[in-house]
Amino acid sequence: MTSPKVTSSSATCAELPQLPRKQTQHHTNDLISPLTSSIAELPSSVQIIDRQTGHPRNGILGPYYPGQNIMLTCISLNGSPLPNITWWKDNRVISNVWEVTGPAKVQSDLTIDNVTRDWHNQTLTCSATNTHLAVPVSVTVLIQMYLLPLSVVISTPGAAREGQQTRLTCTVHGSRPPPIITWTLRGITKRAELKEKNHGLVSVSELLVNVTRADDNTRVKCTAENPAVPGAVLSNFTTLTVHYPPSVTASLGRSLRPDLLKEGDDVYFTCSVAANPPASTITWYHEGTVQVQNVSQGVIVSGESLVLQKVRRDKAGKYKCGASNALATVTSAPVHLKIRCECSEPLMYGFEYPIEESVCNLYLTESILELATACYISLSGPLLSVYYIILN
């Protein structure tokens, strides 16, 4: 708390000897001092005013903004002899400087520089006393302030499962008046309703979210703003954790040209998996049969990859991969592997154009392998050549 700054004039102040205080009730304001045999007249009124805003309302001054200077004046009217004026806070004197500002009028100014939130709900008392034989005439005011949020805390129940609802709680401490709370999720900001309002300067807001896997690792922001101090905001963030079963896709290697694969080529597959928790196992299948590592046969299984070295025609067919996590086991859609094989002695029927020797180096797809004869169409410049070929 900043020490109050007290201003005073150079007027001479007459004080009575400091005697023990004694509370005595009288029917009049006139008291006879046994030391002086004179009559003491108590002040008729004491009041505190704010030199900027005026009189307190229902005994309350403010609310004030943090950092504001509070300038107060205590005025005592009448009283004989003129009273001393003293400011009190927390049962201790914080100023006892005063001046005479008019007939039967005594005044004391008190300035509180750069007021902090510690002054909220504090009381100030101004006392006027001109005798120790009576209780001082005094007035007390309550200081109230606008308070900025001190903290914003977001709590979550932990990981949520895809398709379920999760509840986020934002707790704001220290704001007066209660803050405006907003949530920001997926780039959208929404003003929230408060569950509790100013219960011990604590405000709570809840947000219900139907989560999808796209929300995993998404940041959620809660912002608190004191409506009396626009622009003074306090925010905090949390990250959503969403659990979901594997999403699995099998594919041929990107560098491969599926229509040109032939016997003796090296072929590899990739299994792309999105899962949370991460997939614990990945399994490869060929026509429903689990593929296991067999280097001598040219089968290499390494994590998300399957490699077939010097592939043979019997490796053609459907390939799938499966992935498992704590939620489920999921198998991908099939990838069709076609292997061309070399044929010989092509036969030509009824064509007037000669067959080039290169035609003998034809490679057949899996579907052609299932037939005794097949038709192969070749474009060579403007000529269309159709060849019927048989397999050895």
Radius of gyration in angstroms for the set of CA atoms belonging to the chain, rounded to a whole number:
46
Banded pLDDT at 38 (limits 50, 70, 90): low
Residue pair 320/334 in contact by the 8 Å Cβ criterion: yes
Distance CA 166, CA 159 (A): 9
Runs of H (alpha helix) within the chain: 366-369
Share of the chain above pLDDT 90, in %: 64
Question: Which residue type is seen at 46?
Answer: V
Q: How high is the mean pLDDT of the chain?
A: 80
The answer on pLDDT for 346 being more than 80 is no
- Tell me the sheet residues that pair with 107: 75, 99
SS3 content of the chain, % helix, strand, coil (to 5): 5, 50, 45
Of the candidates 43, 39, 30, the residue with the CA atom closest to the CA atom of residue 78: 43
| Parallel, antiparallel or unpaired: strands 160-161 and 242-252 | parallel
Distance CA 268, CA 299 (A): 10
Banded pLDDT at 371 (limits 50, 70, 90): very low
Measured between alpha carbons, how far apart are the two ends of the chain, in Å? 102
Reported as a single tens digit per residue, the pLDDT across 69-86 is 999 999 999 999 999 999
Kindly state the average pLDDT of the residues 199-220. 91
Two tokens, residue 206: 């809840």
Distance CA 197, CA 178 (A): 6
Distance CA 93, CA 82 (A): 20
pTM summary value: 0.68
Q: What is the pLDDT of residue 196?
A: 66
Banded pLDDT at 32 (limits 50, 70, 90): very low
Of the candidates 382, 387, 338, 340, the residue with the CA atom closest to the CA atom of residue 359: 387
